[in-house]
Chain A
Amino acid sequence: MAVEFDNDVGFEGALLIGWANVGRERIRCLAGRETINELPGFTHATAAEIRSRKREIFEELKPEFIRKIEGRQLDRSTIPSVTVYWRDLPAHH
């Protein structure tokens, strides 16, 4: 089933938060500062920089969210969630 994403992307200082929809299931997509700082161009990005470019960052991470959702690698959480960690990024595979 296709993974589709909401347009809303939030950032609260440490975590980037978006939402994916797989059929009727809604899955929260999370990435922390540590992961974001591994992305090219964001190595030393401050919280304010991440906040202002959060949609661009989320776009970059979408393939990893899709991979985790399709692999059912969900977090142990009351809200269905997937978290992309720095070790999940292609450069660390």
Chain B
Amino acid sequence: MFHKVKSAIQIAALTLTFFLPFATAIMVKHFSTSITERGKNTPLLFGPKGDRFDLTISTLFFRGDPLSQLSMADFQLLDEEKRGLAVPLSLGFTARKFPVVGTTVDYFIARNIVTKAGTVPLTLGDAVLGNECATTLNAQIGDHILTDQVNLYDLSANYPLKLKIVGILGQTKSADDNAIFTSMGTAWVISGLGHGHEPLNEETANDKLLGKTKKQITANASIEQFIEINKTNINEFHFHSDLARLPVSSIIVFPKSPKDGTILKAKYLKHQKIQPLEPNKVIDELLDVVIRLKRLFDSSYAITALASVLFLTTLILLSLQTRKRESKALFLMGCSRGTICMLFSAEIIILCIFSTLFALVGAYALTFIGSDILQLLL
């Protein structure tokens, strides 16, 4: 029993020593592969001027809040250049903690994403779930999902919107797996820029009105707001703004050719409020920081590993000291010194093999959740 416990403790100590560097290396590799891939698949990105890292991360991984916005007019101007496929994104809201991404059907075409079941979001109130998201929420087509309340203490804030799940995407092994997609219109409704309520007309009761003129009828707060968009009320939804002024978080552009991309980028290089970015380059810059951090961790692990190895060497030497009589007895019984040496070192080798194996298995197991953790940190 003593020997089993001793071996288990030694294996645990070695496993932990090996695990940290293995896990970091594997996680960083996995993470860098995953985000580099995403960067490569997004040739050009246009967004409001500001931090390029924040803009890239929010557009590519749907993390963080977009601080400022572009408008649909900006998107239309880009689109009119006819140098590629421009896709607008509306970000910043969540449903059951998953990011809600407002976009157009072009997003799925450009990213080559197909639905596993159902359709892409075509009408107001439709939602399509990423593969992982659907699995986590155990959601099926026809189910509903409520958007998250932005601020519980803001009485003037919009009600959460009940979205109807019309499709589930196939697995992409990217941030798309953990997102909920809607149309741009739905995203604007979620943000409160569009809404639906019971019709206001001449027949509306006076106690629901604040004012009434020949040109305009103004309702008070008692008017019924729709929290779900369905076939019966879809026509009641509207926007109190010109479509061109509605916000867009960022615009992804898939140029027809590298030349088109360069021209488009050059055109916007000195734009007053829009910055063009090549996500690939921004990701490389970001990874450079991660790699530098990893090097820092590596040197720390090297020192820890050295300390652990020294401790283990002391332990092994003490163990050999206590087993001196055993080795002498084996020698007297005719065992060669080589065999004795082999017997004792075999134990150490077995300990190391098991520890390395456990550490590798643990590190690989961690990568499944580890890359998500790293992406959450973005």
Q: Do A and B come from one complex?
A: no
What is B's interface to A at a CB cutoff of 8 Å?
none
